[in-house]
A and B are shown apart, each in its own frame.
Chain A
Amino acid sequence: VTEEAPVVLVADDDPDLRGLVVYRLERAGYRVLEAENGEEALRLAREERPDIAVLDVMMPRLTGVDVLRALRADDETRDTRVILLTAKSQEQDVSAGFGAGADDYVTKPFSPTELQARIAAILARR
């Protein structure tokens, strides 16, 4: 097996915020997959098996927490690491996210550098 860059799935329906995360992670050397809604995120996660998924909670079709639950319920995708992006006002989303098995969460507005550091920390402890 050759050493390849870890693959990160970034799912957010806001193209500007998604672009910000993609920019930061590509600069950091990751291979990045993009999804603009929860359905697309789940499909990409199943097909491409990213090492980690950054999921916005408030997405159309399936929320980030819905996608997380689906990933955890399937033996094939159970081990995908997940960071949720939540709005500050959605504290119930944070507890629902941890209940569903999220590895971490980041509150919007977030520092792209901090998000990158958290991704690195989660990937390092596997």
Chain B
Amino acid sequence: MDDELVGIVAHELRTPLAAILGYVEELRSGDPGPLTQEQAQFLEIVDRNAARLLGLVDDVVFLEQPSLQVAAVDLSRAAGLEDGDVTVEGDAARLEQLVQSLVSVTEADAVRVESRDGEAVVEVDGTVEPASTARARFQLALARAIATAHNGVVERDGTTFRVHIPFAQEAA
């Protein structure tokens, strides 16, 4: 898809989602009237799924047109660990998503972050091979796209994934 079309499609998808999310927020606030416990619970589900759909729209846009909100990122924190001393220039939310995607597809039980040979390395020790489901393939594609956008790479060795991210991003 060309860039302009991606933008148009994303806009067309986000507008109805904005209406869904907004009206659900109003209903959940109780202003239009009291909700039963079950109605409140169902609306929470609608809200969560609409938010998920919105996230997927953003992800598809990212796959087509990667863009980063770059800042100094503590990679350990992005990887869901305690604060560490490995800092890269990157997009914190996307790097977090990268690690979460790899953890999710491999059902990983350990993540390590270290500095090695002038680059940051995140190692995700999975317990299973990534499934060939659509969801797993999408998450892997997204993980690779996020690494690429950071001038990095994702390497796979069985159930272990290693993400290499250079410390400084070259100016484009």
**Chain A interface residues toward B at CB < 8 A:** 14, 16-17, 20, 23-24, 27, 58, 87-90, 108-113
Q: Is A17 touching B15 in the complex (CB atoms < 8 A)?
A: yes
Q: Which residues of A contact B17 (CB under 8 A)?
A: 109
Interface size class of B (residues with CB under 8 A): 10 to 19
Query: Which of B24-32, B70-78, B84-92, B148-156 interfaces with chain A?
Result: B24-32
Q: Which residues of B contact A17 (CB under 8 A)?
A: 15, 18-19, 22
| CB nearest to A114 among chain B residues | B25
Contacting A at CB under 8 A, from B93-113, are none
Q: Is A110 touching B22 in the complex (CB atoms < 8 A)?
A: yes
Q: Can you give 24 A-B contacts (C-beta < 8 A)?
A: A14-B19, A16-B16, A16-B19, A17-B22, A20-B22, A20-B26, A24-B26, A87-B11, A87-B15, A88-B10, A88-B14, A88-B58, A89-B11, A90-B7, A90-B11, A108-B14, A108-B18, A109-B14, A109-B18, A110-B22, A111-B22, A111-B25, A112-B22, A112-B26
Task: With both chains docked as a complex, state the minimum distance between the C-beta of A96 and any C-beta of chain B, in angstroms.
Answer: 16
Task: With both chains docked as a complex, state the minimum distance between the C-beta of A23 and any C-beta of chain B, in angstroms.
Answer: 7
B54 CB-CB contact with A under 8 Å: yes
Q: Which residues of B contact A16 (CB under 8 A)?
A: 16, 19, 23
Q: Which residues of A contact B21 (CB under 8 A)?
A: 109
In the A-B complex, the 4 residue pairs with the closest CB atoms:
A109-B18, A16-B19, A20-B22, A108-B18
Most buried by B among A20, A88, A109: A109
